[in-house]
Amino acid sequence: MAKTQWEDSPSDLLRARAGFDLASIDPHGKPGFDGGKSDGRAALKAESDRLSELQEQLWAESRSGGTRSVLLVLQAMDTAGKGGIVRNVVGAMDPLGVKVTAFKAPTPAERRHDFLWRIRRELPEPGIVGIFDRSHYEDVLIHRVRGLSSPDVIEERYGLIREFEEEVAASGTTIIKVMLHISADEQKARLAERLDRPDKHWKFSLGDLDERVLWPAYQEAYQLAIEHTSTPDAPWFVVPGDRKWYARLTVQQLLIEALGGLDLQWPAADFDVAEAKERLALS
Amino acid sequence: MAKTQWEDSPSDLLRARAGFDLASIDPHGKPGFDGGKSDGRAALKAESDRLSELQEQLWAESRSGGTRSVLLVLQAMDTAGKGGIVRNVVGAMDPLGVKVTAFKAPTPAERRHDFLWRIRRELPEPGIVGIFDRSHYEDVLIHRVRGLSSPDVIEERYGLIREFEEEVAASGTTIIKVMLHISADEQKARLAERLDRPDKHWKFSLGDLDERVLWPAYQEAYQLAIEHTSTPDAPWFVVPGDRKWYARLTVQQLLIEALGGLDLQWPAADFDVAEAKERLALS
C-alpha cells in the first residue's frame, strides 16, 4: 500500500476504547485514509501480496511446531459487506491457511450446549487465519434485541465472552473483532439492489425487513456489546462501511498489522542443507 | 477461457479408464491444449470468474435447501504442484464456499479408527467445494510402498474406497480425483530450488529424499490405486504436471466441467418481490 495515504494506523484510529460511542462514528467516513475510491482499490490490490506472504509465514511457522494463529470476527447488520470482505480481502490469502466459518442460527443439537460450545469447535488451528462470519456475539446482539435471553443472562455473557477470549488469546491466537458500520440509508439502497436483481434474490429474505425495523435497538446492542468486550487481548474495531472500498482496505490493513505484529520469519532449515544438496544430486 | 484452445475436453482426455497405463503418460505433455505458457496463463485468468460464479451458484443453491457439493482429491509426489493448484485455482473461488483439508500422517487418535474415519469428518457440506490435499489414498500408496499394511489389507482397501466413494457420490457430492503427474527429473529440479532458497527450506525435509528413492515403487502404487478405484462416480484424472501452467489450467477446467454439469441456477425468490419492495420503501 502507498503508506503515505494512511495518515494514521487504522488499528489506532478505529479501536473501541473506554468512552466508546457508536453513534458518534460516521458510517460514511474514511478515517485515516487520504485518498478516494480508485486510490483505495489500487492500495487494496497493491497490499494483497504482503498479506498473502505474512499468512504463508504464519502457516510455515506452524509446520515447524509454531502454535500461533489469527482470528478475525466479523459482525454487522445485513448487507454491511461481510461477504465482500471475505471474498476480496480474505480471498487474497492461500486457501490452505484460511478457514471461514459462517455461523447461522444454532441447530437444535448446538442449542443443547452452552453458547460458546460451537464457537470453540471452529477456533483456528495453529498456522491458520480463521474468519468468523457472525459469531458468539449474536448471543448478545439478536438475543438482546429479540429478547431471546433475559437481561441478566446477556449481562453474564459479556463476562463469559471476555474470559473466553482471554483464554483464546493466551493460547496463541491474535484476535481482531470488526463491526462493519453502515447507515440505515445505505442498507436500504443495498437491499433495494438485491430486490432488483434476480441473481441476488437468494440473499434476501423477508426476515431482513423485520430486522431492519429494529435498527435502533441493534445499534444499542452493538454499543453495549462493544463497550463490554473490547479488551487489549481482543479489541473491537468499528469500521465505517458505507464505502465498501474503505472497509475492505481497512480490514486488510488490520490483518496486516496483526500478522506483522507477530514478527514472523521463514523457519530455518532443521537439516543440513549442504548434505541435502549432495544427496539430491546423487538421487 | 478461449475455448478454441482446447481441442478436446480434458475430462475426456485425461480420465483413467480400463487399460489405464500410467507409464505411457508423458508428464511434460499438454494434452488437448493448443497453446503455450502465456496462452495458458491468460486462459487461467480469463476463466477464473466463471469458476467463481459457478461456485457461488452452488453455495446459493445450498442456502435454498440444496444438498449438492463437490470434492476435489489431489494426490501427487512431493513438489508436483498441489500447493500451486490450491493457491492459484482454488484461490479464485470465494473462501466462504471452499474448504481445504491437508491430510498429514494420522495422529495416534486417528489411528485408533478405520482409515476412512478422519476422511468422512472432512467431507464437504452442501454448497461447498472441498479440496483434499492428500487423502485416504495415502493408505494404499505410502502404505503399499513402505509396507505399512499387508498386501491383503491394501487389496481390501481398494474395495472399501470404491464403496465409500459410491456412497459419497450418492449423497450428492461430485467427486473428481486428480493425480498430478511429474517426472523424476522435474522433481529433482524443484527440490534443488527449494534447497537454494531459504524462504523455501521449511517445505523441505530429508524424508523427501527417502521417498524420492522409492520413485518406481510409488509409480506402481499409483498405477494400481488408480486402476482399482477409477469409477464412473469417482473418476481419476492423471494431469501432466511438469508444466505448472498446464496442470493449473486443466484442474480449473475439470472443476468448471464438474460444476457446469450440475446445471446450477440462481435460486428463485421464495417471497413476493413486489411486496418486499413496498415494505422496504416504507422502512
pLDDT, chain B, mean: 96
Give the mean model confidence (pLDDT) for residues B214-243: 98
CATH value at residue B50: 3.40.50.300
The string of pLDDT tens digits covering residues B120-140 is 999 999 999 999 999 999 999
Beta bridge partners of A15: A237
The residue with cell 470453540 is A120
Q: What is the pLDDT of residue A8?
A: 87
Is the pLDDT confidence value at B7 over 90? no
Domain that holds residue A14: 3-282
Q: Tell me which residue in A205, A212, A280 faces B188 most closely, judged by beta carbons.
A: A280
Is the pLDDT confidence value at A2 over 50? no
The string of pLDDT tens digits covering residues A35-55 is 999 999 999 999 999 999 999
**How far, in Å, CA of B175 to CA of B232, rounded?**
10
Which residues have C-beta within 8 Å of that of residue B72, sequence separation ≥ 6? B90, B129, B130, B131, B132, B176, B177, B178, B251, B254, B255
Whether the ipTM is more than 0.95: the answer is no
Is the pLDDT confidence value at B47 over 60? yes
The string of pLDDT tens digits covering residues B60-115 is 999 999 999 999 999 999 999 999 999 999 999 999 999 999 999 999 999 999 99
**How far, in Å, CA of B177 to CA of B119, rounded?**
14
Torsion of CA B89, B92, B94, B100, to 10 degrees: 20
Residue B1: which pLDDT band, with cuts at 50, 70 and 90? very low
Q: What is the pLDDT of residue A4?
A: 58
Residue B216 cell numbers, joined: 518406481
- Report the domain count for chain A: 1
Residue of A98, A122, A201, A248 to mutate, interface with B, max B Cβ within 10 Å? A201
Residue-wise over A44-58: b if at least 16 C-beta within 10 A, else e?
beebbebbbbbbbbb
Is the pLDDT confidence value at B173 over 50? yes
**How far, in Å, CA of A38 to CA of A44, rounded?**
10
Integer-rounded Cα radius of gyration of chain A? 20
Residue B4: which pLDDT band, with cuts at 50, 70 and 90? low
The string of pLDDT tens digits covering residues A151-165 is 999 999 999 999 999
Task: Let me know the angle formed at the C-alpha of A141 by A136 and A143, rounded to the nearest 5 degrees.
Answer: 90
Q: What is the pLDDT of residue B6?
A: 87
**Considering only CB atoms, which residues of chain B are within 8 Å of chain A?**
60, 63-64, 83, 86-87, 90-91, 93-96, 98-100, 102, 131, 133, 188, 191-192, 195, 198-199, 201-206, 209, 212-213, 266-271, 273, 276-277, 279-280, 283
**Considering only CB atoms, which residues of chain A are within 8 Å of chain B?**
60, 63-64, 83, 86-87, 90-91, 93-96, 98-100, 102, 131, 133, 188, 191-192, 195, 198-199, 201-206, 209, 212-213, 266-271, 273, 276-277, 279-280, 283
The string of pLDDT tens digits covering residues A241-257 is 999 999 999 999 999 99
**How far, in Å, CA of B173 to CA of B120, rounded?**
12
Q: Tell me which residue in A91, A131, A201 faces B269 most closely, judged by beta carbons.
A: A201
The string of pLDDT tens digits covering residues A58-113 is 999 999 999 999 999 999 999 999 999 999 999 999 999 999 999 999 999 999 99
Give the mean model confidence (pLDDT) for residues A186-201: 97
Give the mean model confidence (pLDDT) for residues B165-181: 98
Percent of chain B scored above 90 by pLDDT?
Answer: 97
Is the CB of B266 less than 8 angstroms away from the CB of A98? no
Q: What is the pLDDT of residue A39?
A: 95
Q: What is the pLDDT of residue A6?
A: 87
**How far, in Å, CA of B266 to CA of B64, rounded?**
10
The residue with cell 478505529 is A14
Instruction: Give chain B's largest Cα–Cα span.
Output: 73
The string of pLDDT tens digits covering residues A83-94 is 999 999 999 999
